[in-house]
Chains A and B, each alone.
Chain A
Amino acid sequence: MFETIDWHIEDGIGFIQLNQPPANIMSKLFFYEIHELADTLLSNISIQALIISGKGRHFSSGADINDLLSFDKDKPQQASDFYLANSQTFSRFYLANIPVIAAIKGVCIGSAMELAMACHFRIATENIIMGFPESGFNLMTGCGGSVYLSELMNKKDTMELLLTGKNLDAREALNMGIVDDVVPKSELMEKAVSFTKNILLHNYNRSLKDFYCKKFLRTHRDD
């Protein structure tokens, strides 16, 4: 059992729900727990896909700025190890051998957007707000956001998003290619599940080809 995350397995799909409403803020405890949960779920061979979502009205508002800056500055190594571990955790979803889908509603900013970008697909509702506000706090992404973004977006859009910290709505995110589908709010989980089942059931479904193409590109980017 985790304090900050709910999870269960149904029909071969692992459901991960960020559970610190209203904003599902990513606390230090969350990062420890998601790390452990990734271990558990990604080593479970009965799981064929993962869906990550947030409880309540929002996906997540990401890490708390004061939390981010509250490390013991006499122990910079400790802080850097913590952040490196967080980045590694998110990258495990990115590198997973099963499709990982983010089901996004409401706010999805900062580290939360990094987690969503580490997923292979993003299904969003019409009311989402996505963005990387880090630069406004004199910071930058630290959990792979710049890397995952560069894979999906052109340089201009990537630079604008990271340097200005501007927000995107559902339409903009769809046009820029960083969300794969926009669905009504009341149907988010239902659509995310049917999207996922589609990937798993139909061998020649476009989504599956997308998934393998993405996997292929990922595997070969380091050659």
Chain B
Amino acid sequence: MTTPENIVFEKHGSIAILKISNPPQNYLKSPSFIPIDFLNELSQQEDINGILISGVGRHFSAGADLNNLFELAKDSNQLTNAMSDGSELLEAISSIHIPVVAAINGVCWGGGLEIALACHIRIASVKALFAFPEVNSNLMPGLGGIYRVTNLTGTADTLALLMSGETFDAEKALQLHIVDQLTSENVLDYALQYINNLVGSKPRSVITSIMQAIHNAKKLPLQEALKEETRMFCELALAEAALRKSEA
């Protein structure tokens, strides 16, 4: 698996760490910060139980590189394709069947915030800063961030954030449920320990089944979600029963 450009890829035990890399502010050169194939390949690896997304250095990401974006916009097809690829990538992250945790330090703005919102859990440094600054350039978030932030914090707060473009601190992000937890420690170390406690030593089949069930609960009609849960339970139970028999 070759590491894509603009990413630093590390493995710590069963956890894959992806760091957005375009220091100092880690502007995103393209709406897709990694190719979707890379993500798919990563999620299929049997020895990876979880993914941590962070930024190189002091910041998560300050969002889209506007010069690149307007360059893309010279050709409407090119822009549309790039944006829908980016949107597809973030949807793939949020529906992945192993936990994805964002470790947020420094600035987390615009497209960077949209990446963080696609993760299942967001842990931020108390010094992290958030914003949807798109409105200042007569733009709007275009990678599903509006939909995700509305689900977390409601329409009124979302509207206020989007229309003002205001920068808000970690404490406010926590109050708005945009981040799940704050830490005054090194956020990457803290998040790595957190995700290790969550899934570090669990069998992958258990992790992927539980994550799938959690996704189903939001996406499938009730009866289907219930049936799928029981089906996955039965698969795990059959495997466990066979294992116990072979050990006996």
List, in ascending order, chain A residues with CB within 8 A of B225's CB: 146-147
Contact: A143 with B120, CB < 8 Å?
no
Nearest CB on B from A163, distance (A): 5
Contact: B226 with A91, CB < 8 Å?
yes
- Measured CB to CB, the nearest residue on chain B to A94 is B222
Q: Tell whether A140 pairs with B232 under 8 Å between CB atoms, given A146-B214, A150-B217, A151-B217.
A: yes
Is there a chain A Cβ closer than 8 Å to B180's Cβ?
A: yes
A window 46-89: CB within 8 A of B: 68-71, 73, 76, 79-80, 83-84, 87-88
Q: How many of chain B's residues have a CB under 8 angstroms from any CB in A?
A: 44
A-B contact count (CB 8 A): 125
Contact: B229 with A147, CB < 8 Å?
yes
Is there a chain B Cβ closer than 8 Å to A158's Cβ?
A: yes
Is there a chain B Cβ closer than 8 Å to A164's Cβ?
A: yes
- Measured CB to CB, the nearest residue on chain A to B217 is A150
Contact: B244 with A222, CB < 8 Å?
no
- Do most interface residues of chain B lie in helix, strand or loop, or is the interface mixed? helix
B window 167-209: CB within 8 A of A: 177, 180-181, 197-199, 202-203, 205-207, 209
Contact: B230 with A164, CB < 8 Å?
no
List, in ascending order, chain A residues with CB within 8 A of B242's CB: 73
Contact: B234 with A159, CB < 8 Å?
no
Contact: B206 with A159, CB < 8 Å?
no
Is there a chain B Cβ closer than 8 Å to A156's Cβ?
A: yes
Residues on A facing B (Cβ under 8 Å): 68-71, 73, 76, 79-80, 83-84, 87-88, 91, 95, 135, 137-147, 149-151, 154-156, 158-160, 162-164, 218, 221-222
